[in-house]
Structure 1
Amino acid sequence: MSTSADIGLWGVPLAILGGAIRVSTPFLFVSLGECLTERSGRINLGLEGTLVFGAMAGYAIAFQTGSAWAGVLAAALAGTVFGLFHGWICKFRGVNDIAIGIAMMLLGSGLAFFFGKPYIQPVAPDLPAIPLGWWSDVTQVQAALQINVLFLIGAAFSVALWWVFKSTRVGLTIRVVGDSTDAARAMGLNPDLVRLLATAAGGALAGVGGAYLSLYYPGSWNEGVSSGQGLMAVALVIFARWNPVYCFWAALLFGGAGALGPALQSVGVSQGYYLFYAAPYVLTLGLLIATSSPNRALEGAPGELSITK
């Protein structure tokens, strides 16, 4: 069997490719959830807390039942509950959705840390992966092409969500509510209900992203499992211009940035590689600065978002 040294510097792009796929999956699910929520006219900064709580809930249920997929379902249900609670509070007059999102982020993280303490040591079953590198004898190729099923589901869902926004009545309803509450009411729609359901669905997607973290990569539950991915996903959605397909590519970009440090380490770079572990955070800061231009910052943004007012 070949080792990493056998392919030399080719191991860097190969490791980045594999790492991008692995690291991008939680970004993808949280960004799709945030995209859906924001297209309805609401920002949910609480998805970081939902992600962490989903990771804990998914790991706990997977351990108790012996089924990783039961854990994914539990994480989605937990995210739905968080989304419903967030959406219900935000329907009241004078409530700021950004402030509530921060409160929900702290609540979700706190509950996850409290209820998750008994599950730090136990080992839960992992989510399955498809070995697309079976044809190669090179260890790095096999590892890079070990594709988790949730990544493929997320990729398919990004296209499906784009189609829903573009070509269906449900998508049109969400877009109308997100662009103008008054126009939505004039059409006989209930903006509060639409935003409540969109926030709940967005929370479910974030919960699934959390389950991926604890049940596949890194594949364990601990209090630092998220590393701020839920918050970075908000910047990712702005960068993707509220387009689900662009969210997929942006998630891969963030994933590749996150995989840069481990990729350099895998080919024997022993000095300075750890600086590249900060690449996702630097990328987030750079994107926020780049998109803060008065001419481009809100291009494509739903009109009812708090940041547009």
Structure 2
Amino acid sequence: MEDLGWWGVALAVLAGAIRVSTPFLFVSLGELLTEKSGRINLGLEGTLVMGAMSAYAISYMTGSPWLGVLVAGLAGALFGVLHALICGLPRVNDIAVGIALMLLGTGLAFFLGKAFIQPQAPILPAIEFGWWSDLPQVRSALQINVLFILGVLLAPFLLWVLTNTKWGLIVRTVGDSADAARAMGYSVNLVRLAATASGGFLAGIGGSFLSLYYPGSWNEGLSSGQGLMAVALVIFARWQPIRCLGAALLFGGAGALGPALQSVGVTQGYYLFNAAPYLLTLVIMIATCSPTRTLTGAPGELSITK
């Protein structure tokens, strides 16, 4: 990036925003779908790590990274089903269950993934959108993975499903008023199970991106709390899928700021720049701490609204 000067920083932040935002995007859309049904799943950090490990393991053993993505999604859905079944029991707190499953998911992934720390698995391919340029920096920055494109398309599709389909109406009804949903003859636990499992499936796919594309390996420090930050991202996005896309890109750009500045020789405050996503999370939570603002658009059955 040194040949491009400060333009290289902007290019690196753009490329980083695309790459780093992809797990944020899938996990936040999954958590949004879960919360629309009236349930919070804080266990998505464990789901993300488990998805990363299972995707890498399957890709290594079969040679197919796309099969790894599918298995990661199924592993996430399984954790979502487990979360929904436990939370469906009387007097069970969904936040406490989420924390327990987060610990279970990370611990299980670390235990099962020890054999896959060193081997190199096939990773997901990228589409070359920078073919028109002779600059290697531009060509590298515009290598975009298919999962990011799918995530971009998923955001408006999820918005359409939630606002224009019967299934979306049922999910929103359950999330806003469980009593009203029961009066209409819908099973609240069954709807929430489907929504939580679907949300876990998306989170698992987000985890597969970490191990199979960026950074493209499996290790125990892969996630860096992205699953937990996604919950804050959903609140920041006011439970709107399109806003989740914008918020994910914002978080991704913040995460890419440190390495981008390093590329042009800015080394002072390096650790502070690397902490930008976490600082941004803190700033967002403080800025939206007013109940009149934070809860705008929040489903009525969420624990934070009661």
TM-score bracket for this pair, using the shorter chain length: over 0.9
How far is 1:16 from its partner?
0.3
**CA distance in structure 1 between the partners assigned to 2:209 and 2:292 by the alignment:** 37
Q: Does 1:217 align with 2:214?
A: yes
Does 288-297 or 210-219 show the bigger shift? 288-297
Cα distance, 1:271 vs structure 2 = 2.6
In 1, Cα distance between equivalents of 2:256 and 2:98: 29
Task: Give the distance between the partners of 1:26 and 1:68, measured in 2 at CA.
Answer: 16
- Is 1:30–2:27 an aligned residue pair? yes
Task: Describe how 1:186-205 pairs up with structure 2 within 5 A.
Answer: 186-205=183-202
Distance 1:143 1:288 in 2: 34
Q: What amino acid maps onto 1:198 in structure 2? A: A
Q: Tell me the equivalent position of 1:101.
A: 98
Partner of 2:45: 48
Determine which of 85, 88, 91 is the counterpart of 1:88: 85
The Cα of 1:275 is off from its aligned counterpart by 1.8
Superposed CA RMSD in Å reads 0.7
Q: Spell out, residue by residue over 1:135-176, the C-alpha distance to the aligned partner (whole angstroms, 9 max, x if none).
A: 111122111111000000001001100000111111100000
- The answer to whether 1:180 aligns with 2:192 is no
Which runs of at least 4 in structure 1 moved beyond 2 Å after TM superposition?
Answer: 270-274
Q: Does 1:282 align with 2:279?
A: yes
Select the residue among 285, 288, 291 that pairs with 1:291. Answer: 288
- Residue of 152, 164, 177 corresponding to 2:149: 152
> Could you list the runs of 5+ residues in structure 2 that have no partner in the other structure?
none
Q: Is the 8 A contact 2:13 2:256 kept in 1?
A: yes
CA distance in 1, matches of 2:291, 2:30: 26
- Conserved? CA contact 2:23–2:207, under 8 Å: yes
Aligned residues: 306
The residue number in structure 1 matching 2:14 is 17
Gaps of at least 5 residues in structure 1 are none
TM-score (ref. length: structure 2): 0.99
Q: Tell whether 2:241 aligns with 1:244.
A: yes
C-alpha separation between the residues in 2 aligned to 1:287 and 1:46? Answer: 21
Return the alpha-carbon distance in structure 2 between the equivalents of residues 306 and 66 of structure 1.
Answer: 43
Question: Of residues 129, 134, 141 in structure 2, which corresponds to 1:132?
Answer: 129
Shift of 1:265: 1.0
Give the match's secondary structure for 2:275. helix
Q: Distance in 2 between matches of 1:84 and 1:58?
A: 19
Structure 1 residue 290, shift from structure 2 partner = 1.0
Distance 2:74 2:7 in 1: 42
**AA at the equivalent of 2:248:** A
Residue 301 of structure 1 deviates from its aligned partner by: 0.2
Letter of the structure 2 residue corresponding to residue 85 of structure 1: L
Match of 1:79 among 68, 76, 87: 76
Higher mean displacement: 58-67 or 263-272: 263-272
What secondary structure, in the 3-state scheme, does the structure 1 residue paired with 2:273 have?
helix
2:231 aligns with: 234
Equivalent position of 2:108 in the other structure: 111
Please give the secondary structure, in 2, of the residue aligned with 1:282.
helix
Residue pairs, 1:1-12, within 5 angstroms: 4-12=1-9
Secondary structure of 2:290 counterpart: coil
Aligned match of 1:59 = 56
Report the Cα distance in structure 2 between the residues aligned to 1:300 and 1:205, rounded to whole angstroms: 22
1:161 has 2:158 as partner: yes
